[in-house]
Amino acid sequence: MNLFVIIQTVKQNADELILLDPYGLGLTIISVTIVFLVLISLYLVFKSIGIVFHKIYGKQILKSNEILVSKSENEISGEVCSAIAMALYYYNNQMHDEENTILTIKKKNNDYSPWNSKIYGLRKTSK
């Protein structure tokens, strides 16, 4: 019984809305405005969360990055870098070998195929 009453009130409210806004322009403007306001508020919330986390954890991340950079600079010498660069250069040049671009297409002559067979297209009529 409650469901029937709820459905009737929804229909009455929909009929009132049709009388007030027959083309739906007001409802469209309101709904688009709400969507954009929610998107802007989500953007501001995520941006503020990023700023807060950067203030809290930013110094720790910078310290750990400095340690990694200083260790990695001390371990790799110029000779190792040049050896890696030469290996990459030779690898990239050997990947592009020249090939002939001649295509040969041999046509196979099949006279019979179930797709072009006329026997399957005939109908048998029963008498």
**pLDDT greater than 70 at residue 33:** yes
In tens, the pLDDT along 66-119 reads 655 555 555 677 787 888 888 888 887 776 556 666 767 777 666 666 666 666
The overall pTM is greater than 0.85: no
- Average pLDDT, integer, range 1-19: 84
In this prediction, residue 30 carries a pLDDT of 92
Other C-beta atoms closer than 10 Å to the C-beta of 41 total 10
Band the pLDDT of 29: cuts 50, 70, 90.
very high
